[in-house]
Amino acid sequence: MKARRLSSDEISNLCRALSLLLHAGTSAGDALSLLADGEASPFLRALLDHMSRQTDAGGALSEAVRETGCFPDYVCGLLAVGERSGRTEEALNALADYYEERFRLDRRMRSLLLYPAVLLLVMLAVLVVLLTRVLPIFNDVYAGLGSQLTGLAGGLLALGRLLDRAMPLLCLLLALFVGLLALFAASPAFRETLSAWWRKRWGDRGVSQQLNTARFAQSLAMGLNSGLPLEESLSLSANLLEDVPAARQRCASCLARLEQGEPLTRAMTDSALLPQHECRLLELGLRSGNGDSAMSQIARRLSEDSESALNEAVSRVEPALVLVTSSLVGMVLLSVMLPLMNIMSAIG
């Protein structure tokens, strides 16, 4: 069986179904076998059968999950903790909630990013048509009146002729761009590869940092809800951010500060893991014995804030694209029409 990483949606559905079956008193091996019997995907059916045999042979569910190589390290780690503490169902439910939210956010980001990309493509196509097809017509009109395009219009005409000569290359680039858009929309594996490349380089700045903070908060809430102490939850949550080196470094810095005896609020604030007021709320929750509830509330607020920031950032892209491209189109037309109006008025 060739291993591939499961998508967030697949992990969420599997964890939710396993939690329900375990709650009904079904053993892990029987639950996996039941899920395999009703699975339509050959890959998932083979995966579930393999995991079922592992658990029937006496292996732990977390070890069966880890051995497949198809699940993130965080899933394996949280399941192992849930098994040790006797809270496997709670761990599965927490994982199902987290990956369901992550799938919803990924789908939202995909829809938000595709529209500006298509809009940019259309606007660039309009500009290319103006420069390569419309401007030469105006140049012929000027030639018939005994004049020619000069200044800005002449420069744009020269650019249009250059683009016209490079049209085969432009068509190839256009086809490549459209193909990448289609692949991005249709292929989860390609999206994940592209996203991983982006996160390693620029994945902890601006809105991306807010999204990482929300992911970390959700992970920390899962750990606390599963009965983990704070330090172990922090260490486990760092694995969730392994694809963002800068974010993982923030987790390591916080753990180091806590080991040196720094207060929780200062350690988390100085490490930029959570906003200061949220760190204070978490510390109060831990002191009162309600750390898991406080962390769940913090995670929900940070998730809502990160989505709002993402929506605001994308909402600024569309007007900016329209403004810039409309200004360019207007500049092209005015650079041609104004001299033509002067010529026509002089003839009249």
Instruction: Name the domain count of the chain.
Output: 3
Q: Which residues contact 118 (CB under 8 A, 6 or more apart)?
A: 181
- Shared-domain flag, residues 186 and 257: no
- Shared-domain flag, residues 143 and 199: yes
Distances (CA, A) of 43 to 10, 130, 229: 12, 51, 36
- Shared-domain flag, residues 153 and 121: yes
Q: Which two tokens stand for residue 100?
A: 């369901």
Q: Using CA atoms, how far apart are residues 95 and 16, in angstroms rounded to an integer?
A: 8
Q: Which H or E run contains 36? A: helix 28-37
| Cβ atoms of 257 and 271 closer than 8 Å | yes
Label residues 7-40 b or e (16+ Cβ within 10 Å = b): bbbbbbbbbbbbbebbeeeeebbebbbbbbeebe
pLDDT of residue 270: 84
Q: Which H or E run contains 226? A: none
CA dihedral of 2, 3, 5, 7, whole degrees rounded to 10:
50
pLDDT of residue 199: 66
- Shared-domain flag, residues 307 and 211: yes
| CB-neighbour burial class of residue 212 (10 A; exposed 0-12, middle 13-18, buried 19+) | buried
Domain with residue 270: its CATH number is: 1.20.81.30
Give the residue among 114, 124, 159 at the shortest CA–CA distance from 321: 124
Helices 28-37 and 42-56: crossing angle, nearest 10°?
Answer: 160
Decide if 184 is inside a domain. Answer: yes
Give the residue among 208, 235, 205 at the shortest CA–CA distance from 220: 235
Collapsed DSSP state (helix, strand, coil) of residue 315: helix
Here the contacts of 21-28 (C-beta below 8 Å, separation 24 or greater) are 22/88, 22/89, 22/92, 23/89, 27/55, 28/55, 28/61, 28/64
Domain housing 251: 206-311
Q: Using CA atoms, how far apart are residues 179 and 47, in angstroms rounded to an integer?
A: 31
Among left, alpha and beta (phi > 0; psi -120 to 50; other), residue 239 is alpha
- Shared-domain flag, residues 81 and 95: yes
- Shared-domain flag, residues 58 and 132: no
Decide if 34 is inside a domain. Answer: yes
pLDDT of residue 345: 64
pLDDT in tens, the chain (348 residues): 456 778 888 888 998 999 998 888 888 888 888 888 888 888 888 998 989 988 888 888 888 888 888 888 778 877 887 787 777 888 888 888 878 887 887 777 777 777 777 777 787 788 788 778 777 877 777 777 666 767 777 777 787 778 778 778 877 887 887 787 777 767 766 766 776 676 666 666 777 778 778 878 877 887 777 677 777 778 777 776 766 777 778 888 888 888 888 887 888 888 888 888 888 888 888 888 888 888 888 888 888 888 788 778 777 777 887 787 778 777 777 776 766 666 666 565
Decide if 105 is inside a domain. Answer: no
Decide if 46 is inside a domain. Answer: yes
- Shared-domain flag, residues 199 and 340: yes
pLDDT of residue 87: 79
| Cβ atoms of 247 and 254 closer than 8 Å | no
Decide if 226 is inside a domain. Answer: yes
Return the amino acid letter for 186.
Answer: A
Decide if 126 is inside a domain. Answer: yes
| Cβ atoms of 325 and 130 closer than 8 Å | no
| Residue position matching structure tokens 């761990």 | 91
DSSP string, 54-96: HHHTT--HHHHHHHHT-S-HHHHHHHHHHHHHT-HHHHHHHHH
Q: Using CA atoms, how far apart are residues 143 and 150, in angstroms rounded to an integer?
A: 12
- Shared-domain flag, residues 214 and 245: yes
- Shared-domain flag, residues 65 and 94: yes
- Shared-domain flag, residues 19 and 47: yes
Give the residue among 266, 272, 261, 260 at the shortest CA–CA distance from 217: 272
